[in-house]
Amino acid sequence: MTATLHFLGTSDSKGVPRFWCNCPVCHEARSSVQGRPGFNRRTRPGALLRGNGETLLLDCGPDLHAQLSRLGGPFVPGAVLISHAHNDHVLGLGDLLDYVTSAGGQLRIYAPAAVLPDIRARFAYAFQGQPEGSSPPVQPIPDEGLELCGYRVRAFEVPHGANGTSHAFHFAAAPSTSAPPPFPPSVSALPASIPGRWVYMTDAVDVPDGLAGAWLQDLDLLVLGTSFRDESETDHSGRSVYDVREALALPWARAARRVLLSHLSHDIDVRQVLPDRKYSYATDGLSVSLNVPAVPRTGRP
């Protein structure tokens, strides 16, 4: 099976450029390169997975409307997974709920059970007036996970430092039945990337060894959030996301066959090459081709 991971947004919570900032990265992000946005122009984090004839949206931040509008035609994802209820990951949810209520559409939206009360509080209108017996608009992700896009997808809670907790998504190849439709418009296959088992973890810091041992071993691809290059001067109690320096040193990240860094703030210039070639920066619009074994391997979560 071939699947495609398409990065809709790769910034931290504030976007790049930050609208009030004229640092070199924000300046470059505002520039135009042959009619295209600067290399560092990036929107709030989200990704679209397509495989096995299905599509899955990972998070729905405040830039979701513009991100989906850029896809070149009408598009509604088959399912949506929400990692946590922070603005940069959830404020596009209103647009998705509007599609259901205004257009009468069907959309499977899931979040970890622990996140549902937050979502219900912030989008209360969407949960009110439901016909008796109908399902609420956002469902809990079952512990055993979901079969989506040719993967068994499971969510696991991760520490988010000063910001509480978040969740990451673990994908393990599941038996496939059909080839994916052609998508997206441009695919840049990363060399030697054959992810049958991968993790999308944008908002985490201080992941305990036990958690890493359970979920972050033997990965073909790790998408990891690193807001800044080096926050060693910052009081650790105020930290909420890994930095690039840490990502390059974390044993479980180093053990992954490929690492893509996302959730990038405005002190990261994606034109700079990282010292370890297995690491690279994700950019808005990047598509990664995932060639997935059709039969799940055993002995791993």
Q: Compare residues 17 and 137 and give the one whose CB is closer to Zn ion.
A: 17
- Cα separation, 31 vs 300, in Å, equals 46
Which strand (E) or helix (H) includes residue 125?
A: helix 124-127
- Cα separation, 141 vs 206, in Å, equals 24
Residue ranges in 91-110 that form contacts with Zn ion under rule CB under 5 A: none
Binding of Zn ion at residue 85 (CB under 5 A)?
no
**Number of neighbouring beta carbons within 10 Å of residue 240:** 21
Binding of Zn ion at residue 88 (CB under 5 A)?
yes
The answer to whether 116 and 141 have CB atoms below 8 angstroms apart is no
CB of 21 to Zn ion, least distance (A): 3
Work out which of 28, 59, 63, 203 binds Zn ion, going by CB under 5 A.
203
Segment interacting with Zn ion, rule: CB under 5 A, options 14-22, 52-60, 119-127, 272-280: 14-22
Binding of Zn ion at residue 160 (CB under 5 A)?
no
Segment interacting with Zn ion, rule: CB under 5 A, options 20-28, 90-98, 123-131, 141-149: 20-28
Q: How many residues bind Zn ion (CB under 5 A)?
A: 7
Binding of Zn ion at residue 59 (CB under 5 A)?
no
Work out which of 21, 114, 194, 211 binds Zn ion, going by CB under 5 A.
21
Binding of Zn ion at residue 162 (CB under 5 A)?
no
Long-range contacts (CB closer than 8 Å, 24 or more residues apart) made by 13-16: 13/44, 13/86, 13/87, 13/88, 14/88, 14/265, 14/266, 15/42, 15/43, 15/44, 15/63, 16/40, 16/41, 16/42, 16/264, 16/265, 16/266
Work out which of 26, 119, 155, 216 binds Zn ion, going by CB under 5 A.
26
Binding of Zn ion at residue 58 (CB under 5 A)?
no
User: What is the SS3 assignment for 210?
Assistant: helix
Q: What angle do CA 224, 284, 264 make, to 5 degrees?
A: 40
The answer to whether 79 and 57 have CB atoms below 8 angstroms apart is yes
CB of 227 to Zn ion, least distance (A): 8
Q: Compose the 244-283 pattern: x for residues touching Zn ion by CB under 5 A, - for all others.
A: ----------------------x-----------------
Q: Which residues bind Zn ion (CB under 5 A)?
A: 18, 21, 23, 26, 88, 203, 266
